[in-house]
Amino acid sequence: MVGACLSLLGGCRRQDMFDQPRHDPLEPSSFFPDGASARTPVKGTVARGQLREDRAFESGVTPDAGFVAESPQPIDRALLDRGRERFDIYCAPCHGRVGDGRGMIVQRGFKQPSSFHVDRLRAMPIGYFVDVITNGFGQMSSYRGQVTPEDRWAVAAYVGALQLSQRAPIPILPREDVERALRSGTPGPQ
């Protein structure tokens, strides 16, 4: 019985780890000379997994300040599906679900962005769209903090698919799609 009581008393000391000194965020502290408990990270600190050394992949811009012409990721169904998902979240409110620049925010009075289907944007390489997502353009602010570099390429690839959807040359379309368009009387591709 006495042994059991002594073993229980030994466990009381373990509470020290639970009750250790700590500070809540932005709480004052007498430990540091400036009186703040929160510390600024050392200059050059990079969070684990956040070291970005490939500027072309990060921003779509080549070392000679041109735009990357081809996606560094293979453009497949999974990438396009991811791009569509991210596009619908971040881009469609302004650019519209089909990229025509008539999203819901525009319908409520916000300035209309250019359609992705104008000749100027159809001629742009994929890196241009990654650069705009990264750095913003005109009224569009940067989405660098919201959209990862991998997802920027997915969105840019999806924008290319949207552009192709509006003016796909007939020879690259499946025969069934051409026949369906002709039966429905909708204007066909260019």
Whether this prediction's pTM lies above 0.85 is answered by no
pLDDT at residue 106 tops 80: yes
Q: Does the residue 40 lie in any domain?
A: no
- CA-wise closest residue to 123 among 69, 74, 166, 77: 69
Q: Does the residue 81 lie in any domain?
A: yes
- Comparing 153 with 169, which gets the higher pLDDT? 153
Q: Does the residue 105 lie in any domain?
A: yes
Q: Are 181 and 174 in contact (CB under 8 A)?
A: no
Mean pLDDT of the chain: 87
CATH of the domain at 137: 1.10.760.10
pLDDT value of position 73: 93
Q: Does the residue 190 lie in any domain?
A: no
Question: Total domain count for the chain?
Answer: 1
Q: Does the residue 152 lie in any domain?
A: yes
Q: Does the residue 8 lie in any domain?
A: no
**Long-range Cβ contacts of 160-165 (<8 Å, 24+ apart):** 160/75, 160/126, 160/129, 161/80, 161/83, 162/98, 162/99, 162/116, 162/117, 163/99, 163/116, 163/117, 163/121, 163/122, 165/98
pLDDT value of position 149: 95
Range(s) of the domain holding residue 59: 55-184
pLDDT value of position 174: 85
Q: Does the residue 153 lie in any domain?
A: yes
Reported as a pLDDT band with limits 50, 70 and 90, residue 13 is low
Structure tokens at 124: 């742009």
Reported as a pLDDT band with limits 50, 70 and 90, residue 144 is very high
pLDDT at residue 42 tops 70: yes
Reported as a pLDDT band with limits 50, 70 and 90, residue 12 is low
pLDDT value of position 21: 76
Q: Does the residue 32 lie in any domain?
A: no
Please provide residue 61's backbone torsions phi and psi, each rounded to the nearest 5 degrees.
-110, 135
Q: Are 71 and 157 in contact (CB under 8 A)?
A: yes
Structure tokens at 9: 């008393």
Structure tokens at 182: 């002709």
